[in-house]
């Protein structure tokens, strides 16, 4: 009979690309991972992995086992959700991945409510960029992700993940109160210093595209994923940027904000693995997040 644990280990190789990455994720040594996969190859009698540079490539036979391993994991997750649903209280732990502005605006109140209403639930939160977090939720590193989607820029989709809208916020041009030439429109920022997130981020791609549609290439002199650092650069008169409204939750804007043509909005959503969507901890977190998002939108 096939060893299910080794099949799941093979799925980890598919998800993470290298034996070293699998070993790090599972707190094993690379030699232990290699040994377990070698035993799986021996038991099935066919080659499962081929070396390709620094990584490994799965054979067609390995892909078959990975598909079945995924089915097994989904079945086990549904069983866990059904078992947890039979209890009278929300217990256990849940790991949440969230991007920065949502972490600042939504998580403090949501965590406080969860602690009060579900004291037996342990919530762990890690800040991650949405693209990475969605993949890591599919790979089972997280149970729930709060992610974002910019106008005209489709966020990556994984078939095993669902998607539930949480809230949306306007994106505006943020300029210093003083220190730079007067700005009346986006076109007036041509030639001014910009701060943006690093290349590869959806917000960076969207910001560059909207500037190009306005007829200029933005002069990006500063790159940081930290929106608080971006705000300080704008406040101090060193840069302009495009800012989502969520960053101002609980405080007055310290920079001058201007509406963009078309008044674009960013969509914020939650995703979980479909197999675990009915787990009480997931349902509780989503309900509290939705409640918190409504309160923020109404404030």
135: its two tokens = 């993949």
**Ranges in the chain, pLDDT < 70:** none
Residue 18 confidence (pLDDT): 86
Pairwise CA distance, residues 222 & 46, whole Å: 52
Q: What is the CA radius of gyration of the chain?
A: 23
Residue 142 confidence (pLDDT): 96
Own/partner contacts of 126-129, CB < 8 Å, gap of 24 or more, are 126/95, 126/96, 126/97, 126/98, 127/97, 127/98, 127/99, 127/100, 127/103, 128/97, 128/98, 128/99, 129/99, 129/201, 129/225
User: What predicted TM-score, i.e. pTM, was given to this entire model?
Assistant: 0.85
Residue 182 confidence (pLDDT): 83
């Amino acid at each position: 009979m096939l060893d299910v644990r080794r099949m799941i280990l093979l799925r980890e190789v598919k998800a993470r690309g290298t034996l070293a990455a699998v070993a790090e994720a599972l707190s094993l040594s690379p030699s232990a991972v290699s040994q377990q996969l070698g035993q799986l190859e021996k038991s099935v009698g066919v080659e499962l992995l081929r070396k390709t540079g620094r990584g490994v490539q799965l054979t067609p036979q390995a892909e078959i086992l990975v598909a079945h391993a995924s089915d097994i994991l989904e079945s086990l997750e549904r069983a866990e959700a059904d078992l947890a649903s039979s209890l009278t209280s929300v217990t256990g732990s849940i790991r949440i991945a969230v991007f920065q502005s949502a972490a600042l605006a939504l998580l403090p109140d949501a965590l406080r409510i969860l602690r009060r209403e579900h004291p037996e639930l342990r919530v762990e939160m890690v800040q991650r960029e949405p693209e990475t977090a969605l993949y890591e939720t599919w790979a089972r590193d997280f149970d729930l992700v709060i992610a974002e989607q910019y106008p005209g820029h489709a966020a990556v989709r994984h078939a095993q993940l669902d998607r539930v809208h949480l809230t949306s916020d306007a994106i505006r041009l943020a300029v210093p109160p003083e220190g730079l030439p007067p700005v009346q429109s986006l076109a007036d920022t041509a030639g001014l210093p910009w701060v943006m997130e690093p290349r590869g981020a959806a917000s960076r791609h969207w910001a560059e595209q909207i500037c190009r549609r306005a007829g200029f290439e933005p002069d990006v002199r500063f790159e940081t994923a930290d929106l608080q650092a971006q705000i300080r650069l704008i406040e101090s008169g060193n840069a302009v940027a495009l800012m989502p409204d969520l960053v101002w939750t609980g405080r007055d804007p310290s920079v001058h904000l201007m509406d963009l043509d078309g008044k674009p909005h960013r969509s914020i959503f939650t995703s979980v693995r479909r197999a675990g969507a009915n787990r009480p901890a997931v349902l509780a977190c989503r309900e509290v997040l939705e409640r918190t998002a409504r309160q923020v939108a109404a404030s």
